[in-house]
């Protein structure tokens, strides 16, 4: 089948820093891809460009056969590109349910009752039902992560970009997040997962893309990635050394 997302010679610089150096990638619908690399290697920048938060200096992005470079995050969300942020973003003064409805209602042709019905089901799925009327500011870090997941699902993404979802999350919750990610992927959602947590990446993803200084240095299975000399030097070696 055709590729769902194609990134063609994407370059992004910040001042003198080359964050992405002509990156080329193609993803098929339904893949669950890990995106790894040392700090500052360009992972978040790639996500920011695909989701419309940054504009590339050069290069093309094609989503479902349409060029999308320069499209706003808002429009991209409407055509199915959803994302999470490295630092969780929710409306802290609003309740859990209000957060859900803000995500859902912004410009869908959906009535409030349809939206709240969907929200209720998603909250149930993410075990947040008992917190529905709690203000987001009262949630724990882990509960905020789940609320962010829930809000993303309100947008019914077809391509989901997750930036460090496991940061600071305790093991039990991490397991639950794995289950969610697997379930969404099994339902057909393409997922690109950024994480420094190699255990999570190697357990969840059959394909792992490694960035180093804005270049793809490896694109393969977890086994190939673990055995790759360049990856070891650029990334895994340092992690093993500090582990
Ligand atoms: N808005 C920005 N302004 C200036 N420089 C930036 C900006 N965003 C990213 N950079 C730089 O671009 C490079 C790539 O950063 P990026 O955030 O994409 O890395 P990363 O792989 O996500 O790192 P980490 O694992 O630490 O999250 C870094 O050198 C970073 O300092
Ligand atoms: Mg990052």
Domain ranges in the chain are 3-80+158-242, 90-156
Q: At what angle do helices 96-105 and 141-154 cross, to 10 degrees?
A: 30
What fold, for 3-80+158-242? Rossmann fold (3.40.50)
- pLDDT digit string (tens) for 90-118? 899 999 999 999 876 555 678 888 899 99
- Closest atom, ligand 1, to C-alpha of 45: 18
- For the stretch 205-232, pLDDT in tens is 999 999 999 999 999 999 999 999 999 9
Region 171-189 average pLDDT? 96
Looking at the chain, list the stretches that DSSP marks H as alpha helix, in order from N- to C-terminal side: 43-50, 73-78, 96-105, 112-125, 141-154, 171-186, 198-204, 222-227, 229-231, 237-242
Question: pLDDT value at position 236?
Answer: 78
pLDDT score for 227: 94
Least confident piece of the model among 33-47, 66-80, 103-117, 223-237: 103-117
pLDDT of residue 104: 61
Per the model's pLDDT, the better-predicted residue between 8 and 238 turns out to be: 8
> Which residues form ligand 1's pocket by a CB distance below 6 Å?
14, 17, 19, 37, 39-45, 86
How far does residue 108's CA lie from ligand 2's centre (Å)? 30
Residues 27-50, mean pLDDT to the nearest whole number: 97
End-to-end CA distance of the chain: give it in Å, rounded: 41
Atom nearest to 211 CA in ligand 1: 21
């Amino acid at each position: 089948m055709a590729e769902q997302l194609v990134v063609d010679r994407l370059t992004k610089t910040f001042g003198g820093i080359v964050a992405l150096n002509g990156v080329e990638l193609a993803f098929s619908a339904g893949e669950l891809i890990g995106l790894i690399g040392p700090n500052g290697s360009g992972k978040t920048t790639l996500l920011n460009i695909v989701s419309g938060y940054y504009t590339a200096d050069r290069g093309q992005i094609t989503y479902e056969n349409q060029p999308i470079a320069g499209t706003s995050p808002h429009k991209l969300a409407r055509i199915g590109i959803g994302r999470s942020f490295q630092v969780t973003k929710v409306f802290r003064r609003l309740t859990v349910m209000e957060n859900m409805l803000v995500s859902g209602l912004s410009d869908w042709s959906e009535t409030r009752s349809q939206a709240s019905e969907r929200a209720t089901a998603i909250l149930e799925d993410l075990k947040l039902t008992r917190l529905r009327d709690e203000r987001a500011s009262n949630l724990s870090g882990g509960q905020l992560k789940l609320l962010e997941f829930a809000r993303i699902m309100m947008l019914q993404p077809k391509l989901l970009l997750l930036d460090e979802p496991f940061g600071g999350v305790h093991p039990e919750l991490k397991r639950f997040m794995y289950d969610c990610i697997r379930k969404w992927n099994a339902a057909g959602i393409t997922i690109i997962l950024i994480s420094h947590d190699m255990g999570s990446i190697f357990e969840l993803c059959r394909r792992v893309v490694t960035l180093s200084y804005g270049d793809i240095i490896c694109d393969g299975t977890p086994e190939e990635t673990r055995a790759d000399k360049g990856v070891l030097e650029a990334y895994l070696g340092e992690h093993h050394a500090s582990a």
